[in-house]
Amino acid sequence: MIGKIIKTMRKESNLSQEQIGKITGFARNTISQYETETLQPEFSTIEKIANECGYKIIFKNIYTGKELTSENIQRKEI
């Protein structure tokens, strides 16, 4: 599923695999492998691609509506 999301974000941003690769520092082939789910990207990679395409990754609690992002959560051990 993440491959489809990456591809959709990229296409909606009117970027080719080569363009998003150059922007993010990944090879075009690597972007292709992420999109076809041949290669699974790390969360930080997904976030980097999303940010460059103008998206933000948000985790929303369906019960409380509380939202967590990498920007608003303190990175410490729980």
Q: Residue 34: give its domain's CATH number.
A: 1.10.260.40
At residue 16, the pLDDT reads 97
pTM of the model: 0.84
d(CA 36, CA 3): 6
Number of domains in the chain: 1
Q: What is the pLDDT along the chain (78 residues), one digit of tens a residue?
A: 999 999 999 999 999 999 999 999 999 999 999 999 999 999 999 999 999 999 999 999 999 999 998 887 766 555
Supply the pLDDT for residue 72: 77
CA distance 16 to 56: 20
User: Interhelix angle for 28-35 vs 2-12, to 10°?
Assistant: 120
- Domain of residue 31, residue span: 2-60
Instruction: Look at residue 9 and tell me if it is in a domain.
Output: yes
Q: Per the domain annotation, does 13 fall within a domain?
A: yes
Other CB atoms within a 10 A radius of the CB of residue 34 amount to: 24
